[in-house]
Structure 1
Amino acid sequence: MKNVLILGAAGQISRLLTDGLLKQTDAKVILYARNAAGRLKVSESKREIFVDGDFNETDKLVQTMQGVDIVYVNDMRSERATQSIVAAMNRAGVKRIIAASVLGIYHEVAGAFGRWNERMVGSSSSLYAAAAKVLEDSALDYTLLRLTWLYNQEGNIACSLTQKEEPFIGA
């Protein structure tokens, strides 16, 4: 059985991930969020643990990461928080991380949609890019999800794999 830590567990994508892990795997899921008990509901009490905390609480993250196999970060907008997460993973000996960011942080979206996206993301694009750079410069085994504009459609989990220097496709 794997132990998965979901940082930012109260977010919509995190809730979808949690539901999927509980339905499709035997993983134990540690749900980490500010005011977790007030914002999250237990589906499977034997496989879910709630932890109230902030991404900048490195010592609490280290403690929470004991026995964790993989970390998922639902919000990669803060360079400082990402540094805290990476430091905690290094101290706890966790090597694998998947983190959610936004498309366009590498200016990889071409054409009219790319220009529109840059206007919509605006100055926060540099925040996401700085946080991504923290992962890139780490020794961690990482996957950076560059999410498109999301919409609610049951079962839509389609994705494409691209490398950093490749143009973004499929948006």
Structure 2
Amino acid sequence: MKNVLILGANGQISQWAIKGLATDKGVSQTLLVRNPKKLGDTPSNAKVIIGNVLDKTLLLRAVQGQHIVYANLTGEDLDVQAKSVIAAMKAAGVKRLVFRPLRSASMTRCQASSAIGTTPSSVKISNLSAALRMRSRRLIFSTPSCARPG
């Protein structure tokens, strides 16, 4: 069983991911939302956590036991949110992240790989379904490569 934490689960892209994983018997979803009224129907393989990624205690509890974190985040404080997610992942020993910022984030995958304790060469650009199929423990990041300035 793969445990997947979906941050920003009310977002349109997250909704596609949730629906895509809803029938996968090998996946258990944890959906972190700020407003559960916007979520709609929750699949049988999902549980809902109400809160914000900036709540460090809540986020750490949500990340523990997960195999992969899918972060679909937005906001003026996107860099702060990204750092919060990576800190919780590092504390919980989770090393697989699909990060889909809805705005341009200044945190590069080079900075993310450093924060989570892996090398930039192990950072793959991927998507959630590909990440679930991966056997290795890698950080998956969708922002620019380390060759670009951060």
Q: Please confirm whether the aligned pair reaches a TM-score higher than 0.5, indicating the same fold.
A: yes
Deviation at 1:33, TM superposition (A): 1.3
Deviation at 1:133, TM superposition (A): 5.5
Per the alignment, residue 60 of structure 1 pairs with 58
Distance 1:43 1:83, change over 3 A: closer
**Runs of at least 4 residues of structure 1 off by over 6 A?**
none
Q: Quick one: distance in 1 between partners of 2:90 and 2:140?
A: 16
Matched to 2:59, the amino acid is L
Deviation string, structure 1 residues 100-145 (Cα, Å, up to 9, x no partner): 136xxxxxxxxxxxxxxxxxxxxx64xx123655414322532222
Over the matched positions of the two proteins, sequence identity in percent amounts to: 30
Q: Say yes or no: does 1:144 pair with 2:121.
A: no
Distance 1:81 1:133, change over 3 A: farther
Matched position secondary structure for 1:18:
helix
- 1:5-44 matches, within 5 Å, as 5-35=5-35, 37-44=36-43
Q: Quick one: distance in 2 between partners of 1:143 and 1:44?
A: 25
Matched position secondary structure for 1:144:
coil
- Specify every segment of 5 or more residues in structure 2 that has no aligned partner in the other structure, as ranges: 119-137
Per the alignment, residue 70 of structure 1 pairs with 68
Per the alignment, residue 110 of structure 1 pairs with none
Deviation at 1:76, TM superposition (A): 6.1
